[in-house]
Chain A
Amino acid sequence: MKNTLRQRVPYFLLLPLVWLVGLAAANAAVTVKDEAIDGKPAFRLENYRVSLLILPAQGGAVVSYKDKLGGNVELIPPGAHNGLCMDHFQCQPWPGELLDTPYDGKILKSADGECVVQVSCEVKGDFRGSQYPKLKGLRLEKSYTLRDGSPALETRVKLTAPVKNSTLVDYWLQNVFFAGGKFDFDCDTSFRPTVRGVRVKTDRKTGFTGPEDFLRDFNDGWLALLDTKTKSGLVVLTDYNDLRFLYVCGSSRTLEPMFEMAYLPAGASREYTVYIVPVAGLDNIVAATPDYIAGYRMESDNKGAGKVEFNVVRSMRLVTNLALNVTIGTADKPSPGVSAGTLAFDKIGDEPQARSATFTGAGPDPLILQVVAKATGTGEAVTNRFEDYFNGAYQWGENIQTDMASPRYKGVRPPQQLRLNKPKEIRIPRPWEMQMWYAEGLLDDYYGVTQALRLTMRNNGKTKWTRAFVSSSIFGTKLSSFPYDYEELFSYDYIVLGGLRQDALGGLVLEMLTDFVNAGGGLVVLGGPMAYAKSDLAGTKFADLWPVKILPGDYDLLDLQGAPIEVADASVPFLMDLDWKPRPTVRYLHNVELKPGAKVVLTAGGKPFLVTGEAGPHKARIICILGAAMGTLPAGQTPFWEWSDWRYLMRQVFWWTQRYYDFDRFGVR
Chain B
Amino acid sequence: MRTELKRNLCLAMAVFGLTAGGAQAETATVWSTDFSSEKVRDLNPSAKIVAAPAPATGKLLMLSNGGGRTPAWCAAKELRLAGPVTVAVRLRGKGFAGVGPVLNFNGYFRVGKNYWGVEIPGTVYGTQLDETKAMTISFNILLAPQPESYSFDISGQWALKETNSAQTIWIERIEIMANGPAASFISRVEPDKTSYRLGQTAKVAVAVVNPTATPFKGSLTLTELFDLEEKTDAATGAVELAPGEAKEFNFSWKAKLPEAGRELRVTLLDAGKKVLDTYTDFYGIAKDPSYLNTMAGGVIAPVWNNRYNCSYVGPASYAQTLGFIQFNKAMRLQRFEYFSWSYNELAQFMPPKDEEPYLGNEGIWWQSFKKFKNQVRMLKEIGVTPISYVNGGLWGPEAYKLYQKHPEWFLAVGSFDMEWRAKYERRNEFEFMQNKTPFFYCYFNPVLPEARRYVADQLIGIAKEMGFEGARWDVWNMSVSPGQKDMFGKEVAKTAEEADRLTAESLAAVKALVAKEVPEFTWGYNYGGPEEVEKTPLIIAEKCRGGGWILDEITCTYQEKTSPFHYWDAYRDRIVGWGDHIRQLGGIYNPFPFRRGGALYTIDHLYEGIFRLIGGARSYMPGEFNAGAAGKQGLMAFRYSDVFFGWSLRLQPATQTLVKVTAPDTLWWKSMVLLGTGANGRPRAIVHLVNSPPVNEVEENPQSLVRPPVKDVVVNCGPQNGKKLPVKAWVISAEPATPDAEPAVTATVLPLTRHGNTAQVTVPWVLYWKTVVFEY
Q: Which A residues lie within 8 Å of B440 (CB)?
A: 442
Is A630's CB under 8 angstroms from B407's CB?
A: yes
On whether the beta carbons of B489 and A554 are closer than 8 Å, the reply is yes
CB-contacts of B400-415 with A (<8 A): 400, 403-408, 413-415
Which B residues are CB-close (under 8 A) to A441? 418
Is A470 an interface residue, CB under 8 A from the partner? Answer: yes
Return the CB mask of A387-422 against B: 1 if under 8 Å, else 0. Answer: 000010101110000111100000000000000000
A interface, by DSSP: helix, strand, loop or mixed? loop
Q: Using Cβ atoms and an 8 Å threshold, which residues of chain B touch A472?
A: 413, 415-417
- In this complex, what residue of A is CB-closest to B414? A405
Question: Which chain B positions have C-beta within 8 A of A470?
Answer: 416, 418
User: Chain B: interface residue count, which band?
Assistant: 20 to 34
A555 and B485 contact, CB distance less than 8 A: yes
- A470 closest partner in B (C-beta): B418
The answer to whether the Cβ of B354 comes within 8 Å of any Cβ in the partner chain is no
Q: B527 contacts which chain A residues (CB < 8 A)?
A: 402
Q: Please tell me if the beta carbons of A471 and B487 are within 8 angstroms of each other in the complex.
A: no
Q: Are B564 and A393 in touch, CB under 8 angstroms?
A: yes
* A294 at the binding interface (Cβ < 8 Å): no
With A442-B418, A554-B489 known as contacts, the answer to whether A403 contacts B475 (CB < 8 A) is yes
Within 8 A of A (CB), among B514-551: 527, 529, 531-532
Do B408 and A559 have beta carbons less than 8 Å apart?
Answer: yes
B487 near A632: Cβ-Cβ < 8 Å: no
Interchain CB contact under 8 A, A440 and B418: yes
Do B418 and A444 have beta carbons less than 8 Å apart? yes
CB distance from A26 to the nearest CB of B (A): 42
Looking at the assembled complex, report how far the CB atom of A499 sits from the nearest CB atom of chain B, in whole angstroms: 9
Q: Tell me, yes or no, whether B229 is within 8 Å of chain A by CB.
A: no
Chain B residues with Cβ below 8 Å from A395 are 529, 531-532, 554
Please, which residue of chain B has its CB at the minimum distance from the CB of A481?
A: B419
Decide if A473 is an interface residue (CB 8 Å cutoff). Answer: yes
B421: min CB distance to chain A, Å: 8
Contacts of A557 in B (CB 8 A): 487-488
A209 within 8 A of B: no
Does B104 belong to the interface (CB within 8 Å)? no
Contact residue among B400, B415, B487, B564 (Cβ-Cβ distance under 8 Å from A474): B415
Interface centre among B418, B488, B554, B557 (most CB of A within 10 A): B418
B415/A553 in contact, CB under 8 A = no
Give Cα distance in the complex from A402 to B532, angstroms: 8
Q: Whose C-beta in chain B lies nearest to the C-beta of A471?
A: B417
Is residue A538 contacting chain B, with contact meaning CB distance below 8 A?
A: no
A354 close to B (CB within 8 Å): no
For residue A554, which residues in chain B have a CB less than 8 angstroms away from its CB?
A: 485, 489
Residues in A whose Cβ lies below 8 Å from that of B408 = 559, 631
A553 to B476, CA, bound (A): 27
Q: A471-B418, A555-B488 are in contact. Are A630 and B404 (CB under 8 A)?
A: yes
Q: With a CB–CB cut-off of 8 A, which chain A residues contact B476?
A: 403
B54 at interface by CB-CB < 8 Å: no
**In the complex, what's the smallest C-beta–C-beta distance from A439 to chain B, in angstroms?**
9
Q: How many Å lie between the Cα of A433 and that of B406 in the bound state?
A: 39
A377 at the interface (CB under 8 A from B): no
B529/A443 in contact, CB under 8 A: no
Please tell me if the beta carbons of A443 and B419 are within 8 angstroms of each other in the complex: no
Beta-carbon contact of B489 and A553 below 8 Å? yes
Given contacts A469-B422, A480-B419, contact A397 B405 (CB under 8 A): no
CB distance B415 to A473 under 8 Å?
Answer: yes
Q: Is the CB–CB distance between A471 and B404 below 8 Å?
A: no
List chain A residues, Cβ under 8 A from B417.
469, 471-473
Across the interface, which residues of B come within 8 angstroms of A397, CB to CB? 557, 560, 562-563
Encoded as 1 (CB less than 8 Å from any A CB) or 0, chain B from 579 to 615 comes to 0000000000000000000000000000000000000
> Interface range on chain A: under 10, 10 to 19, 20 to 34, or 35 or more?
35 or more
> From A468, which residue of chain B is reached at the shortest CB distance?
B419
Most chain A CB within a 10 A radius of its CB, from B404, B531, B560, B564: B404
A394 (CB) vs chain B CBs: closest residue: B531
Q: Give the nearest-CB partner of B419 in chain A.
A: A469
* CB-based contact A396/B418 at 8 Å: no
Chain A, 622-633, contact with B by CB distance < 8 Å: what is the 0/1 string? 000000111110
On whether A631 and B407 interact (CB within 8 A), knowing A472-B413, A474-B415, A555-B489, the answer reads yes
Residue pair B487, A396 in contact (C-beta under 8 Å) = no
Q: Which of A446, A474, A553, A555 contacts B404 (CB 8 A)?
A: A446
A559 to chain B, nearest CB (A): 7
Whole-angstrom CA separation of A254 from B275 in the bound complex? 75
Task: Confirm or deny: A588 has a beta carbon within 8 angstroms of a beta carbon on chain B.
Answer: yes
Q: Give the residues from 369 to 414 in chain B that come closer than 8 angstroms, CB to CB, to chain A.
A: 400, 403-408, 413-414
* A529: Cβ under 8 A from any B Cβ: yes
B562 — which chain A residues lie within 8 A by C-beta?
391, 393, 397
Closest-CB distance, B321 to chain A (whole angstroms): 31
Q: Which residues of B contact A442 (CB under 8 A)?
A: 413, 416, 418, 440
- CB pair A588 B418 closer than 8 Å: no
Point out the residue from A467, A555, A631 that lies within 8 Å of B405, measured CB to CB.
A631
Q: Is the CB of B405 within 8 A of A559?
A: no
Identify which of B487, B529, B531 contacts A529 (C-beta below 8 A). Answer: B487
Closest to B479 in A: A403
Residues of A within 8 A of B413 (CB): 442, 472, 529
Q: What residues of chain B lie closer than 8 Å to A529, measured between beta carbons?
A: 407, 413, 487
**Cβ-neighbour of A588 out of B407, B475, B564 (below 8 A):** B407
Q: Is B420 an interface residue (CB 8 A)?
A: yes
**A393 CA / B476 CA spacing, docked (Å):** 24
Q: In the bound complex, how far is the Cα of B322 from the Cα of A396, in angstroms?
A: 39
| Min distance, Cβ B535 to any Cβ of chain A, angstroms | 12
Q: Which partner residue on chain A sits nearest B392 by CB separation?
A: A403
B637 CB to closest chain A CB (Å) equals: 28
B residues in contact with A588, CB < 8 Å? 407
B441 to chain A, nearest CB (A): 9
**Residues of A close to B422: CB separation below 8 A:** 440, 467, 469
Contact with B along A607-630 (1 / 0, CB 8 A): 000000000000000000000111
Question: Which single residue of chain B is at the shortest CB-CB distance from A553?
Answer: B489
Q: Is the CB of A443 within 8 A of B415?
A: no
The chain A residue sitting closest to B406, CB to CB, is A632
| Residues of B contacting A632 in the complex (Cβ-Cβ under 8 angstroms) | 405-406
Contacts of A443 in B (CB 8 A): 400, 403-404
Closest B residue, CB atoms, query A302:
B564
Question: How long is the Cα–Cα vector from A469 to B424 in the complex, in angstroms?
Answer: 13
How far is A389 from B193 in the complex, measured between Cα atoms in Å? 53
- Rounded to whole angstroms, the CA-CA distance of A554 and B440 in the bound complex is 21
Q: Could you say which residues of chain A place their CB within 8 Å of the CB of B554?
A: 395-396
Residue from A405, A471, A474 having most chain B Cβ neighbours under 10 A: A471
Minimum distance in angstroms from B570 CB to a CB of chain A: 12
Within 8 A of B (CB), among A454-495: 467, 469-474, 480
**A632 to B563, alpha carbons, bound, how many Å?**
50
| Cα(A393)–Cα(B561), bound, Å | 11
Q: Which residues of B contact A391 (CB under 8 A)?
A: 562
Task: State the Cβ distance, A586 to closest chain B Cβ, in Å.
Answer: 13
- A469 touching B404, Cβ below 8 Å: no
- Do A555 and B487 touch across chains, with their CB atoms under 8 A apart? yes
Chain A: which residue is nearest B475 at the CB level?
A403
**Given A397-B560, A404-B475, CB of A469 within 8 Å of CB of B487:** no
Do residues B418 and A631 form an inter-chain contact, with CB atoms below 8 A?
no
The 10 closest A-B CB pairs, nearest first, are: A555-B489, A469-B419, A471-B417, A469-B418, A395-B531, A473-B415, A630-B404, A480-B419, A440-B418, A632-B405
Q: Would you list 7 pairs from A and B whose C-beta atoms are within 8 A, ordered by A residue? A: A402-B532, A404-B475, A444-B418, A469-B417, A472-B417, A559-B408, A631-B405
Residues in A lying within 8 Å of B, measured CB to CB: 391, 393, 395-397, 402-405, 440-446, 467, 469-474, 480, 529, 553-555, 557, 559, 588, 628-632
User: Given A446-B404, A557-B488, A588-B407, 11 other A-B contacts at CB below 8 A?
Assistant: A402-B527, A405-B414, A444-B418, A445-B421, A472-B413, A473-B415, A557-B487, A559-B408, A559-B488, A630-B403, A631-B405
Give me the interface of B with A, judged by CB distance under 8 Å: 400, 403-408, 413-422, 440, 475-476, 485, 487-489, 527, 529, 531-532, 554, 557, 560, 562-564
